[in-house]
Amino acid sequence: MKDVVGDAERETAVRLEEHRAELTGYCYRMLGSLFEAEDAVQETMIRAWRNFDRFEERSSLRTWVYRIATNACLDALAAGKRRARPMDLSGPTSGATSPGAPVDAALWIEPCPGRPASATGDPAEAAAAGETVRLAFVAALQYLPPKQRATLLLRDVLAFSAREVADLHGSTVASVNSALQRARATLAARREAADETAAPPSDAVQRMLAERYAAAFAAFDMAELSMLLHVDATLSLPPYALWMRGVSDIQAWLTGPAIGCRGSRLIPTVANDSPAFGQYRPSAGGTGYEPWALQVIEVSGDRITGINAFRDTERLFPLFGLPAHIGPDSGSDTSAPNTSTSLATPTG
């Protein structure tokens, strides 16, 4: 009897774990933080395990666990605190401005490692999935009321039917369709206002820009950087509220308050389906290089449109598999970023 129970428990655990990666991607989009997403998924697994005997298979297991995950996210969002990017909260500042004091880390959208995997291997499907984890998209989602946010993700990203979402929410198909229409309109308006309607560049273009950027940053070549940046490019530095717009202010920042970045070393990685780098500044002790920021680079067309320098290296570098220190003889690695996958796309 014990073996039968053990086998049943193992089978239940395996069935639930099959959904973990996809659930993590969903919860990350809902909450704007991979750390909070992993907590929400773990809570989902615990609730599902404890209540598995109540699963009557009137819906699919996937729908059932997403109902639990949605409720876990709604519980986490009940305090009404919305994560954002610095540019969502204030206007740009001069590049000569001191960053001031850091703001509560729980305020900011946080990056996630890697890029979504395509369930079918279709490049178009992979590109569409990548768009749904970009920093700008995740930030825009936070402007939607939580249930609208969930409805849009379940319908447009995870391909649930309107009836499945209605059953999941305990509502009607008409109310789901109405919420979806409002959510789509809000996102479209925000994309238009932010001028984010251009088609994303190819992987080859992103790789080329990332390699040129890494080489220019390591050499602190302001002329080359200015050629790579869009005229209205932005630079932000969470957890600081400071951000700036335009090539001249970005250069003023790098050659002024951020002059200590001269001589940095960069290790490539991937965040939110975008090129990213672990930045290491020369150690104050004079030996090797210390973690300074995780830079996530946004690209549109053939220019870099955003540099997001996340300063919480103590938490983020281990998440991205970046070393805690690099030696004095390490040069900048400007090869193509690691494209390892951390989030799954819909399985249908």
**How far, in Å, CA of 336 to CA of 215, rounded?**
12
**How far, in Å, CA of 72 to CA of 27, rounded?**
9
**How far, in Å, CA of 171 to CA of 60, rounded?**
18
Cα atoms found within 13 Å of the Cα of residue 227, Cβ hemisphere only: 10
Report the chain (348 residues): mean pLDDT per 10 consecutive residues: 56 84 95 96 92 73 93 88 90 90 91 72 64 93 95 95 94 96 94 71 90 96 96 96 96 95 96 96 88 96 95 96 86 49 52
pTM of the predicted structure, to 2 decimals: 0.89
C-beta separation of 337 from 270 below 8 A? yes
C-beta separation of 294 from 277 below 8 A? yes
C-beta separation of 108 from 36 below 8 A? no
C-beta separation of 237 from 99 below 8 A? yes
Residue 339 is predicted with a pLDDT of 44
Burial 116-130 (b: 16+ CB within 10 A, else e): bbbeeeeeebbbbbb
Residue 202 is predicted with a pLDDT of 84
Torsion sign across C-alpha atoms 130, 238, 29, 20:
positive
Tokens standing for residue 257: 């308050």
**How far, in Å, CA of 91 to CA of 143, rounded?**
18
C-beta separation of 210 from 269 below 8 A? no
**How far, in Å, CA of 84 to CA of 95, rounded?**
21
Closest alpha carbon to 277 in 329, 216, 222? 216
Q: What angle do CA 16, 21, 25 make, to 5 degrees?
A: 125
Residue 4 is predicted with a pLDDT of 42
Residue 196 is predicted with a pLDDT of 66
Residue 200 is predicted with a pLDDT of 74
Long-range contacts of 99-104 (CB under 8 A, 24+ apart): 99/237, 99/240, 99/242, 99/257, 100/240, 100/241, 100/242, 101/240, 102/239, 102/240, 102/311, 103/239, 103/240, 103/241, 104/239
**How far, in Å, CA of 184 to CA of 18, rounded?**
30
Question: How are the residues of the chain apportioned to helix, strand and coil, as percentages rounded to the nearest 5?
Answer: 50, 15, 35
